Amino acid sequence: MKKTAGLLLLSLTTLILTLSCSKEEKIAPFVKEFVNAYTDPHGFISVISNDRGNRYVTSDTVRLEADSTYRLIMSYCVNEDTFSATILDYASVLSSPARKADREDTCSDPVDIRSAWLGGGWLNLIIELKGLEKKHRLYAVENSDSTRVAFSLFHDADDDISSYTAIAYMSIPLEQYADVLSVNDTITLSYTDYSGSVRTRTFTTK
């Protein structure tokens, strides 16, 4: 059974980058990126793969759901000689498929997008949200048709006060659009920013 994590994490633990990932004197390369994490029959992460197709054997002490797949942003160290990784920290990524457009999705609270890119069959987003004293709702809405792939971001801040900024991570899966997308096609993403302007970002498939 596969399960994709869909948790909105408000912050990611700060890491000390001078930390050695090995008991040896040689410090292994440090990586922080979006990954797919696969759990074993006991619920522990046993394999991770990044969006470049690299797979590493690993282990973790936190028990998740057994035989499942999680989309995470992870900090880890790599041993290329053994194709293994040491997990330092990770946080959940919103990774549910985009919802079909509905009347509820027409009025969205603002967000800012710090970074956005295509990789590994995903549209990956690092999103800035203001407030978070209350529970926010955040998801992608599909505005696609038979000739194009287009998304918008829906954000319900529940009238939260914009007291500080937090970070959310999102990966929109693209595999269901394989029949529409080909090389050099465009994908668009629209959202309202905190100035009140509607922004549209365009991405080109490779």
Distance CA 84, CA 77 (A): 8
- Quote the CA–CA distance of 187 and 107 in Å, as a whole number: 22
Q: Is the pLDDT of residue 16 over 50?
A: no
Residues paired with 145 in a beta bridge: none
Query: For residue 8, what pLDDT band results from cuts at 50, 70 and 90?
Result: very low
Q: HEC string of 142-184?
A: ECCCCCCEEEEEEEECCCCCCCCEEEEEEEEECHHHCCCCCCC
* Torsion over CA: 101, 110, 140, 40 (sign): negative
pLDDT surpasses 80 at 175: yes
- Our CA angle for 5, 72, 155, nearest 5°, is 65
Q: Could you give the C-alpha distances from 1 to 38, 44, 61, 175, in angstroms and in order? A: 11, 14, 21, 18
Least confident of 64-68, 72-76, 143-147: 143-147
Confidence (pLDDT) at 57: 96
pLDDT band at 89 (very low <50, low <70, confident <90, very high): very high
Q: What is the mean pLDDT of residues 142-158?
A: 88
What is the C-alpha to C-alpha distance for residues 98 and 101, in angstroms, rounded to an integer? 9
CA distance 48 to 63: 15
Look up tokens 């990966």; give the residue. 171
pLDDT at 199: 96
E strand or H helix at 51, and its extent?
none
Counting DSSP H helices and E strands in the chain, the numbers are 0, 13
3-state secondary structure of 130: strand
Amino acid at residue number 103: R
Q: How confident is the model at residue 61 (pLDDT cuts 50, 70, 90)?
A: confident
The alpha helices in the chain, defined as continuous H runs, are: none
Q: What is the pTM of this model?
A: 0.84
